[in-house]
């Protein structure tokens, strides 16, 4: 993924999508992102769209998310929200929030900061059919 590239859900046509919203200051995100990294490295990305979105409107500075991404060398796609636009569109109330979309990109399930990674992964078979 190139810096400044615009990603659309239509780029994942016919695939379910996992979207994770996060912020660099968030302790729960720091526990969640390494698990998402392991998942990403083993997932069949031909069958599942996978993106993470840094919620810039929840960051302490405009550069915080980019600095975090660079420092931790995140291997998966990291998109930059325009403030809280996409975050609010999915009615997120905290970070991390993971949204699973079915193959038609309808919201299947939303997992908030109290949900476990096991819960998220456990729901995937239902949208992978």
Domain CATH number, residue 64: 3.40.30.10
pLDDT on residue 1:
44
pLDDT on residue 4:
74
Location of structure tokens 């992978």? 128
85 within a domain of the structure (yes/no): yes
Low-confidence stretches of the chain (pLDDT beneath 50):
1
Cβ atoms of residues 74 and 52 within 8 Å: yes
Cβ atoms of residues 69 and 44 within 8 Å: no
9 within a domain of the structure (yes/no): no
36 within a domain of the structure (yes/no): yes
87 within a domain of the structure (yes/no): yes
pLDDT on residue 25:
98
Could you give phi then psi for residue 46, rounded to 5 degrees? Answer: -75, -20
CA pair distance 34, 105, nearest whole angstrom: 25
58 within a domain of the structure (yes/no): yes
Domain count, the chain: 1
Inter-CA distances, 74 with 11, 41, 56, Å: 21, 11, 17
């Amino acid at each position: 993924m190139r810096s400044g590239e615009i990603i659309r859900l239509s780029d994942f046509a016919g695939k379910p999508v996992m979207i994770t919203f996060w912020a660099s200051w968030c302790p729960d995100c720091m526990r969640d992102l390494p698990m998402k990294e392991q998942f990403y490295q083993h997932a069949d990305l031909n069958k599942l769209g996978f993106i993470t979105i840094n919620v810039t409107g929840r960051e302490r500075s405009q550069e915080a998310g980019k600095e975090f991404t660079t420092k931790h060398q995140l291997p998966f796609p990291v998109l930059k929200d325009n403030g809280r636009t996409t975050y609010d569109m999915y009615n997120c109330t905290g970070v991390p929030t993971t949204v699973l979309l079915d193959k038609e990109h309808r919201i299947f399930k939303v997992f908030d900061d109290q949900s476990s990674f096991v819960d998220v992964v456990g729901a995937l078979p239902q949208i992978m059919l």
